[in-house]
Amino acid sequence: MGGGSQGAVLPRPALALAVVLALLAFSLIAIALQFARDDLDWVRATLSLYLHGPYGLLLRVAYCLLATAIAVLGVMLYRQASGPARRGLPAVLFAVAGVALATVAIGDSWLPQHAPLLAPLLHGLAAQTAFLCVTVAMLLQAWCFSRDPNWQHLQRLAWWWAWVAFAGLWLHVLWRDSPRGLGQKLVIATVVGWLLLVALASWRRSRKETPETST
């Protein structure tokens, strides 16, 4: 049989598993640094402050892992979708979020020394782009799940989880008197948790179903 009526193209399980492992690696590194960096107050210090000083390079690598996982997950979800659930905008937004996040990590590695006035501007713009694009992509992707029978079982949880992340982001932005480090890290944890939930579901599905091949 051809794949005309079955619009979904499932990723290889190894690729989906790599995304899951990248998300877990970022999470473990970010959590470990909260204990390893006793020079920073974890309640007040945003995660980006950990990009500098001891273990800064490790966190930059973790940022790049997360950036790659976000972009790849967006493509995977697009390829898995079928019919009216296949929309390119979420995948594009996930990719833009990944590029912006990688820009934060790479820019912070050399820009503060070579262009100290430009560094804060680029960092702020890239970080805001990453947060906004990934949370909007999560909402759109969760809406797409409602139009795909293979994802409807996850749609309700993914939809409300994405709204919590989106609302948490704007609360963090607008409530300037909040503990900045804790607020930002809660938003990051909510976003990464959503990504991990969906990546695990994608991995399980890719293990259960074998894509059709033509000779």
**Cα dist. 204→9, 87, 157 in Å?**
14, 22, 17
Nearest partner of 22 among 199, 154, 204, 208, judged by Cα: 199
pLDDT tens digits, 16-42: 999 999 999 999 999 999 999 999 999
> In terms of residues, how long is the chain?
215
The whole-number pLDDT of residue 10 equals 52
pLDDT exceeds cutoff 80 at 209: no
Type of residue at 66: L
181: number of Cβ within 10 Å: 20
Would the pLDDT of 213 be above 80? no
Measured distance CA(180)–CA(173) in Å, rounded: 9
Q: Give pLDDT tens digits for 132-186.
A: 999 999 999 999 998 888 898 999 999 999 999 999 999 999 998 889 999 999 9
pTM: 0.89
| pLDDT of amino acid 210 | 53
pLDDT mean over 111-135: 85
C-alpha 210/C-alpha 192 separation (Å) is 27
What is the C-alpha separation between 101 and 78, in angstroms, rounded? 21
**Residue labelled with tokens 């972009």:** 71
Nearest to 50 by CA among 107, 97, 98, 108: 108
For the segment 40-85, what is each residue's pLDDT rounded down to a tens digit? 999 999 999 999 999 999 999 999 999 999 999 999 999 888 888 8
